[in-house]
């Protein structure tokens, strides 16, 4: 488990069921206007085996499901977990939650975000250089560490940890 990367994703399943209480009107990736139920799945990259799944109400967006995952993983007793997520899970609150739980993670972001644009603009003209090409993955890639402005509300003390 310590050497495994876990991929976390969700899908929506459209339904006309009147008996399933979690069927709700929501927005899916295809922009279908139907009631749905969401299914989240966490599976290992190395062995391709499911590790965790949960069904959620259809009106809960991807970005809101991460907190439930972190609570469940904490209840299962796992500590050193590495999670890979797509950009549907990106939010400042989610990044702060992942840091708060001391989890290692990789997450996609939208190219329109200001901090992404700032760093991308510095290499935009040179990224198609062979120095940035990965023969193994057959793609051009650029990686850099950035400083994240972490903030955690402490409602009992009435202050914010930064």
My answer on whether 103 and 26 are in the same domain is yes
CATH classification of the domain holding 97: 3.90.350.10
d(CA 8, CA 84) in angstroms, rounded, equals 6
My answer on whether 92 and 118 are in the same domain is no
My answer on whether 88 and 35 are in the same domain is yes
My answer on whether 100 and 129 are in the same domain is no
My answer on whether 21 and 64 are in the same domain is yes
My answer on whether 87 and 140 are in the same domain is no
Residue 129 is part of which domain span?
110-162
- pLDDT under 70 in the chain at which residues? 1-3
My answer on whether 104 and 125 are in the same domain is no
Q: Are 15 and 32 in contact (CB under 8 A)?
A: no
My answer on whether 10 and 88 are in the same domain is yes
- What's residue 1's pLDDT? 59
- What's residue 136's pLDDT? 93
């Amino acid at each position: 488990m310590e050497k495994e990367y876990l991929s976390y994703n969700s899908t929506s399943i459209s339904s006309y069921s009147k008996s399933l209480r979690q069927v709700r009107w929501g927005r899916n990736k295809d922009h279908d206007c139907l009631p749905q139920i969401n299914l989240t799945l966490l599976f290992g990259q190395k062995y391709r085996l499911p590790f965790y799944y949960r069904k959620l109400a259809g009106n809960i967006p991807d970005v809101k499901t991460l907190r439930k995952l972190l609570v469940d993983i904490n209840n299962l007793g796992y500590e050193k977990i590495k999670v890979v997520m797509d950009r549907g899970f990106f939010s400042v609150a989610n990044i702060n939650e992942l840091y708060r739980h001391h989890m290692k993670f990789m997450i996609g972001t939208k190219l329109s975000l200001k901090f992404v644009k700032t760093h991308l603009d510095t290499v935009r003209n040179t990224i198609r250089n062979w120095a940035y090409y990965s023969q193994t993955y057959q793609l051009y890639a650029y990686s850099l560490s950035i400083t994240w402005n972490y903030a955690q509300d402490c409602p009992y003390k009435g202050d914010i940890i930064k």
